[in-house]
């Protein structure tokens, strides 16, 4: 096949091939949706998804049905991919992450209506401040984590439709406008040890928004809509997709795949980057393995596969070319599981099972500082993630990004200070040893010189 000859010469897929590969996931699940739901059920389901509140946790599979949920996620992702392709945006690791985040969270919070105002606000900021859209577009895509705010304003403000539209427009544009400067600023605070950086900045923005809403008497009720009846069906769908990706990776790289993957496992993942370049097949294989691991954890914990958990699994898959791999996510996830034995919740409850998956934002801590640090990070993250959301009442879909930023800011300086102390102690011990040897040598020669005199 001609495309294999080109790939083996460059180790990368062409621009169009990457576009088609990323599009595989939304197309696959849209076909899945059409198999299990006729169109006359999908359209009314999509309408319910659009008009209902989207705060955490709102499972679109319950709200609109299987077909509508996956059709919403698939169509929205494809629309954005076609726009990116039209404007010749490079399909790099950032676009892989943001595309799969759009797909995953469009199963529980984002829809074909509520993301656009935030993106327009981001475009306005980028244009006014001279930021190249192609370079920073992924920040705007990440920032749609606050899309439930648009639906909230439309429903919570009891006034005329015109004023609802005006307030929703102002809210969306304001979120998009402030997103980039805040995200760039806060990244330095956790030094790249939390991968969901925009989740951290979104948590700050959401906290301010909720404070404003409540000051004007707008109360925000938390939600828990959670599907429990399709786990086996979704498990089959996920494993078929991930094993297809494994097979594709072997077709592309053959015997070179596993040695390259072993090299990738030595990377720390700090800042969502890898120190070395790898072939596209290695990234595809890493995505598949991480997807299999994440799905297996949910099943082993007797959790439910539904909109929120599938969306969280694709968050792990999406970040696989940008910092996550088996060696640095497992300690974090095991730390969360261990905490379930000591704390007052069960790992297969809705919020804890999402925390188990999304705690992998802290994968760089395990990658850089080792297994013990990873276990501690997972243990701490489980407590923070399950409590910090109260400040913004589920308005930020990337709740674990906000919690992960807090844990990283707390842990990393402490770990670095311990490492620095150990380094200083070893240096001091080394210097003392040298001084002692010099002293003994000097003492010997002094005694020998006196003896000769």
Please say whether the beta carbons of 194 and 139 come within 8 A: no
Q: Show the tokens assigned to 47.
A: 């309408």
Tell me, what's the pLDDT at 444? 56
Tell me, what's the pLDDT at 36? 84
pTM: 0.92
Q: Show the tokens assigned to 84.
A: 């990116």
What pLDDT, in 10s, does the model give residues 256-268? 999 999 999 999 9
Closest CA to 53 of 277, 245, 289, 225: 225
DSSP state for residue 267 in the 8-state scheme: -
Q: How far apart are the first and last CA of the chain?
A: 90
Tell me, what's the pLDDT at 345? 87
CA 205 to chain centre: 18
Tell me, what's the pLDDT at 451? 43
Which of 114-145 are b and which e, b meaning 16 or more Cβ less than 10 Å from the residue's Cβ?
Answer: bbebbbbbbbebbeeeebeeeebbbbbbbbbb
- Look at residue 151 and tell me whether its pLDDT is greater than 50: yes
The residue extents of the domains of the chain are 14-216, 240-408
Q: How confident is the prediction for the chain on average, in pLDDT?
A: 91
What pLDDT, in 10s, does the model give residues 28-81? 999 998 988 888 899 999 999 999 888 889 999 999 999 999 999 999 999 999
What pLDDT, in 10s, does the model give residues 359-372? 999 999 999 999 99
- Look at residue 2 and tell me whether its pLDDT is greater than 70: no
What pLDDT, in 10s, does the model give residues 322-334? 999 999 999 999 9
């Amino acid at each position: 096949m001609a495309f294999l000859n080109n790939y083996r010469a460059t180790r990368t897929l062409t621009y169009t091939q990457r576009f088609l590969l990323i599009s595989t996931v939304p197309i696959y699940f849209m076909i899945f949706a059409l198999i299990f739901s006729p169109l006359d059920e999908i359209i009314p389901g999509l309408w319910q998804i659009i008009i209902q509140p989207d705060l955490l946790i709102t499972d679109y599979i319950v709200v609109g049905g299987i077909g509508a949920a996956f059709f919403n996620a698939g169509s929205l992702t494809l629309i954005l991919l076609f726009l990116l392709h039209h404007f010749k945006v490079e399909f790099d690791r950032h676009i892989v992450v943001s595309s799969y985040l759009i797909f995953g969270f469009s199963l529980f919070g984002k829809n074909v209506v509520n993301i656009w105002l935030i993106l327009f606000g981001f475009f306005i900021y980028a244009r006014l401040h001279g930021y190249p859209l192609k370079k920073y577009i992924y920040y705007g895509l990440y920032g749609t984590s606050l899309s439930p705010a648009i639906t909230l304003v439309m429903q919570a403000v009891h006034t005329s439709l015109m004023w609802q539209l005006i307030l929703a427009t102002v809210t969306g544009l304001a979120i998009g406008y402030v997103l980039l400067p805040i995200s760039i600023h806060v990244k330095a605070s956790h030094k790249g040890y939390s991968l969901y950086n925009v989740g951290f900045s979104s948590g700050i923005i959401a906290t301010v928004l909720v404070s404003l809403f409540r000051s004007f008497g707008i109360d925000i009720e938390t939600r828990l809509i959670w599907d429990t009846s399709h786990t086996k069906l979704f498990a089959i769908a996920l494993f078929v997709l991930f094993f297809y990706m494994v097979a594709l990776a072997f077709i592309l790289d053959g015997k070179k795949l596993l040695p390259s993957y072993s090299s990738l496992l030595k990377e720390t993942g700090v800042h969502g980057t890898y120190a070395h370049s790898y072939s596209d097949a290695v990234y595809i294989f890493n995505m598949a393995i991480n997807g299999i691991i994440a799905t297996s954890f949910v099943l082993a914990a007797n959790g439910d596969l539904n909109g929120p958990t599938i969306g969280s699994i694709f968050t792990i898959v999406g970040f696989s070319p940008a910092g996550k791999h088996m060696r640095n996510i497992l300690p974090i996830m095991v730390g969360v599981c261990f905490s379930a034995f000591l704390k007052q919740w069960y790992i297969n409850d809705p919020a804890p099972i999402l925390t188990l998956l999304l705690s992998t934002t802290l994968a760089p801590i395990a990658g850089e500082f080792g297994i013990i640090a990873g276990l501690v990070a997972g243990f701490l993250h489980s407590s923070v993630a399950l409590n910090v959301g109260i400040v913004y009442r589920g308005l930020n879909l990337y709740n674990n990004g906000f919690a992960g930023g807090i844990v990283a800011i707390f842990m990393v300086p402490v770990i670095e200070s311990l490492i620095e102390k150990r380094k200083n102690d070893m240096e001091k011990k080394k210097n003392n040893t040298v001084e002692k040897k010099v002293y003994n040598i000097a003492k010997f020669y002094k005694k020998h010189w006196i003896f000769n005199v």
